[in-house]
Structure 1
């Protein structure tokens, strides 16, 4: 799915439609739970023959444990996601053209091939206030610094290059924020390119948000989706999976990751929690610290940036296992029951059962799929095919919303049919084992690698 910008223009704001019946966030939360629980009860009833068949192999508790991890819990979570997103209505901006000073902080290591292009996209932003840029070189051994300085001079950017010799992205970010003079800072990866209106929409959402909102996560999508089959599959994960989960979390005022690749923060809030922590998932742990202070983190789907995703399986495994390990780090440092808000307790608490689902999928569903090819339908059988229409319906709902976002940005979604069906049918087969590998890395304290 290659995303092509056609043009950017100011669109007149139409008259406000008549107000519909107001449903509070708490009401949406409990209504979505009600529907999800009802769906789960129906699924449990329909699965009784499945439980009985598997009971003959692994006993009843074992059958419930396995089916719970590969069917009951994922089905409940998916139903909760879909119903919540049907309820979701993104608040209006108070001002689509804010004029608030903002800085962009880029921590980079050996990004000589990318940094100039990233700065070029910053230069072409439609933001009316000059943007300050701080580039932190984290021990590069190539020409990253020279490339950044040269591009900054050619583009006449307000650019500073800072050096941080201690390895680790958290060190680079904490050094860089000391040189930020504005109240708001946007973190950006050196290989991530901003849509022309990205900064404007991100700042507009922050300006429109309540005072207790300390960060807003932008929407990161795939730029190199045409490179091979792996990138085509990942494109749908970013476009449907990750974006939809962030919309769900944003609806309940607790986006769990204001990702370092592209998010805006209140500088004072970052400083108050001690900056980015020494963790492989430094952005996850930082966000959970915000939530623990009863601050809120939003998500803005119109603030779009494009990144290059892994093109090889080893690189993909390294990245996604790092994400899974970062989640465990966050759970160890900030327990879900320590969160003050019910939404944050619930959203962070979901992560407690992620290892259970990944383990049962890896060590039960995948072997069951192999057995099914030989005629043994103990775990995977004809009934599991009934999940596919429901999955396609849920992704259809998510796709329609995401496409409407693209229309607002004058972008178009190019066809990627093969990638979509492989994403629906096969992606979890890849993700679950990779996530388990990340959990094992954290359990055995293996060496942490930034990139």
Structure 2
């Protein structure tokens, strides 16, 4: 898998974006639940976009118990493009977005998380990529980066996961005509296609299930590597594990809801089959490699031995390749990669010790049908 990823990324020569003769109107949907601490910054980042066409921004307050709705109402006096949809009862992100799209007046819809900050060229970049991609494209995922990476060791490590791992995966999948997750945190969609597939499904991983519905319908999902949004990553192990449980459970939900996608003859189907390996790899790592590592510390090399060390230079080389690709993009955008050596070494050497067991917990949640919750508030 690592070799395939490395060769694909080295061959990726996607067409450059171009300035459009005219830009379409946009509707932005922001589902917010108890986001009083961050919603103001998100709205300010939208205001500095200077998007050259009509912009409609709808904040859907999903029954927040804090001052989220009050802050948005106050912001409406400053931002004429802003609309508040105030829902009395908290019903989940999917329900909030489905209510919001009913008010959309444009054919292109962008979703943004309420605790994020858009780079000043994010909207222009993602629209250009969407309109210049192949004509059957109906969604494009933006690039998510960590905003609070300086907060502690956990956020420093996640900075590299977003910058290297997640970004590289989306870039590679886009090369083969099917990014598997147009994440709700920042993606652009065709409104009619959203309505065609039934909107956001009521489940834990609504964004991945929606993306697979678009792929099953025959549409392409792309990725815009230079449409950047900065988000707050989990700052505690508890919230991080809950987040990754939810992501893993979302993948299981996608397989359950769209099993026929496995027989659809297209390039992206290859990566969906690839995803079938992940639960087994995660279980093998959690139940096999971790005990094997403990045994190796006591001189018993039954599972983990000298051959295992070969994986380390491969991991560093793939990390360096991803770094060189992403850093070039940062340079083109006038951004600078922060020197975060501690987070990088933890990401390469130890991150899987958290990630894989958390994913296994997510698979078990879906198998045991435990109560479905967002898990981050």
Partner of 2:287: 363
Unaligned runs of 5+ in 1: 1-76
Q: Which has the larger radius of gyration?
A: 1
Cα distance, 1:235 vs. partner?
A: 0.6
Partner of 2:278: 354
Is the CA contact 1:191–1:308 (under 8 Å) kept in the aligned structure 2?
Answer: yes
Is the CA contact 2:41–2:116 (under 8 Å) kept in the aligned structure 1?
Answer: no
Cα distance, 1:157 vs. partner?
A: 3.2
Select 2:30's aligned residue among 99, 103, 106.
Answer: 106
Cα distance, 1:151 vs. partner?
A: 1.8
| Runs of at least 4 residues off by over 6 Å | none
Looking at structure 1, the residues matched to 222 and 301 of structure 2 have their Cα atoms a distance apart, in angstroms, of 44
Q: Structure 1 residues 337, 197: closer, same or farther in 2, change over 3 A?
A: closer
Looking at structure 1, the residues matched to 358 and 329 of structure 2 have their Cα atoms a distance apart, in angstroms, of 31
* Mapped pair 1:295 → 2:219: yes
Looking at structure 1, the residues matched to 215 and 263 of structure 2 have their Cα atoms a distance apart, in angstroms, of 7
* Mapped pair 1:141 → 2:58: no
* Mapped pair 1:217 → 2:137: no
Unaligned runs of 5+ in 2: none
Alignment of 1:247-262 (within 5 A): 247-262=171-186
Select 2:122's aligned residue among 195, 198, 210.
Answer: 198
How many residues align structurally? 374
C-alpha distance after superposition, 1:76-105 (max 9, x if no partner) = x11111111111012122425752111110
* Mapped pair 1:240 → 2:179: no
Select 2:187's aligned residue among 260, 263, 266.
Answer: 263
Cα distance, 1:339 vs. partner?
A: 5.0
Looking at structure 2, the residues matched to 222 and 377 of structure 1 have their Cα atoms a distance apart, in angstroms, of 38
C-alpha distance after superposition, 1:262-285 (max 9, x if no partner) = 000000000010100011000000
* Mapped pair 1:391 → 2:324: no
Is the CA contact 1:218–1:300 (under 8 Å) kept in the aligned structure 2?
Answer: yes
* Mapped pair 1:89 → 2:13: yes
CA RMSD of aligned residues (A): 1.2
Is the CA contact 1:95–1:208 (under 8 Å) kept in the aligned structure 2?
Answer: no
Bigger Cα displacement from structure 2, 203-212 vs 247-256: 203-212
Is the CA contact 2:252–2:366 (under 8 Å) kept in the aligned structure 1?
Answer: yes
TM-score, with length taken from structure 2: 0.97
Looking at structure 2, the residues matched to 432 and 111 of structure 1 have their Cα atoms a distance apart, in angstroms, of 29
C-alpha distance after superposition, 1:97-145 (max 9, x if no partner) = 7521111100011111111110000000132224210010111111111
Looking at structure 2, the residues matched to 191 and 207 of structure 1 have their Cα atoms a distance apart, in angstroms, of 27
Cα distance, 1:338 vs. partner?
A: 4.2
Looking at structure 2, the residues matched to 112 and 394 of structure 1 have their Cα atoms a distance apart, in angstroms, of 39
Looking at structure 1, the residues matched to 341 and 168 of structure 2 have their Cα atoms a distance apart, in angstroms, of 19
Is the CA contact 1:336–1:346 (under 8 Å) kept in the aligned structure 2?
Answer: no
Partner of 1:378: 302
Cα distance, 1:429 vs. partner?
A: 1.1
Is the CA contact 2:107–2:192 (under 8 Å) kept in the aligned structure 1?
Answer: yes
Is the CA contact 1:97–1:127 (under 8 Å) kept in the aligned structure 2?
Answer: no
Is the CA contact 1:256–1:284 (under 8 Å) kept in the aligned structure 2?
Answer: yes
Partner of 1:279: 203
